[in-house]
Amino acid sequence: MVTYVAANSGAKRMPGVIPLHGEEGFAGMRKAGRVTAEALDMLTSYVLPGVTTAELDRLAFEFGQDHNAFPATLFYKGYRHSTCTSINHVVCHGIPSDRALREGDIVNIDLTYIVDGWHGDSSRMYPVGEISRKAERLIEVTHECLMRGIEAAVPGNTTGDIGAAIQRFAEAERMSVVRDFVGHGLGQLFHDEPNILHFGTPGMGPELKPGMIFTIEPMINLGRPQVKILNDGWTAVTRDRTLSAQFEHSIGITETGNEIFTASPAGLFNPLTTRR
Ligand code: MF3
Ligand code: CO
Ligand code: CO
């Protein structure tokens, strides 16, 4: 079904061909992931009622300029921003704008930096002031979905084991998994093989092997899983307008488990653990 090849600088994405990275790739991803996580940490104290998502986007660009990091989304397929900022019922790919955040909003900031040619891709949820109990529960469950997906991302398991772990937990909590967007391989490419579905059947899909590098980035809805794209061609929203949340890490499969490249040095990845 799939083939595995030694990662090759300059190679293009090929359907069914999964690159296996060596120590050089892991070192590059460690650096790119760290700067990305530091930027998402830096943004934490700016996410307050009254700030615009355009201002947060500018802060992410400037932080990159100061840290040898360039946003992968800037000029990507016609996208013109450094981040995606997805508020409340926006599932993903929200476009930074002059809309000010309001008390009670929840916002996902998704940032990918390129550092020395390697891509660090991560996103988190940020509460704006005090948020509702149901928004807190959604954020907590979505974070737990990502962490359960990562726990399943070990050599010998398959991509289906990751999706199944996420789906099982989300649905047990009476929430739903968005089907329209997937995690993805990355490295010197922004989006590479394999696709990582956030739902599925244990044992299905390609086997995970040491050297694979990919994101896991589940989007979880309080209501139904269906999404629609707004007329701007980017913004994905829940069809039933219920709240949606997402967390994303970039990870690498090792001989014994995995390495998270985008872990927060300040321990700020899950905003709810640090607020209590
Ligand atoms: N960072 C997103 C991801 O997790 C991709 C955003 S592409 C954009 O894969 F063009 F919408 F910015
Ligand atoms: Co991604
Ligand atoms: Co991302």
What is the DSSP annotation of 41-72? HHHGGG--TT-BHHHHHHHHHHHHHHTT-EET
Nearest-10 Cα torsion for 8, 13, 19, 21? 50
Q: How many residues does the chain have?
A: 276
Q: Is the CB of residue 110 below 6 angstroms from any atom belonging to ligand 1?
A: yes
Q: Which residue in 121, 107, 140 sits closest to 275, CA to CA?
A: 140
Cα–Cα separations (whole angstroms), residue 117 to 25, 26, 55, 110, 120: 10, 12, 26, 19, 10
Which of 76, 86, 90 for mutating ligand 1's site (highest number of atoms within 8 Å of CB)? 76
Q: What residues are paired with 121 via a beta bridge?
A: 112
**Which pLDDT belongs to residue 272?**
94
pLDDT at position 274 is: 62
Closest protein CA for atom 2 of ligand 1: 110
Given this model, what pLDDT does residue 276 score?
A: 46
Around Cβ 242, how many Cβ atoms within 10 Å?
17
Nearest-ligand number for the alpha carbon of 216: 2
Residue 42 main-chain phi, psi, to 5 deg? -55, -40
Task: Give the residue from 87, 78, 79 showing the smallest Cα distance to 52.
Answer: 87
Q: Which residue has the tokens 């059947």?
A: 201
Q: Which residues pair with 258 in a beta bridge?
A: 253
The span from the CA of 189 to the CA of 10, in Å, is 9
Contact 185, 214 (CB under 8 A): yes
SS3 160: helix
pLDDT at 127: 98
Q: If you ran DSSP here, which 8-state letter would residue 94 be given?
A: P
**Terminal Cα distance for the chain, rounded:** 47
pLDDT at 1: 82
Q: Which residues of 124-146 are buried (b: 16+ CB within 10 A; e: fewer)?
A: bbbbbeebeeebbbbbbbbbbbb
Strands (E), the chain: 3-6, 17-20, 70-71, 83-87, 90-92, 106-115, 118-127, 176-177, 183-185, 192-196, 213-216, 219-221, 227-229, 236-238, 244-246, 249-253, 258-260
How many Å lie between the centroid of ligand 3 and the Cα of residue 154?
21
Q: Distance, CA 190 to ligand 2 centroid (Å)?
A: 8
Compute the distance from residue 217 Cα to the ligand 3 centre, in Å. Answer: 7
pLDDT of residue 150: 98
Residue ranges of the chain with per-residue pLDDT less than 50 = 276
Residue 163, helix vs strand vs coil: helix
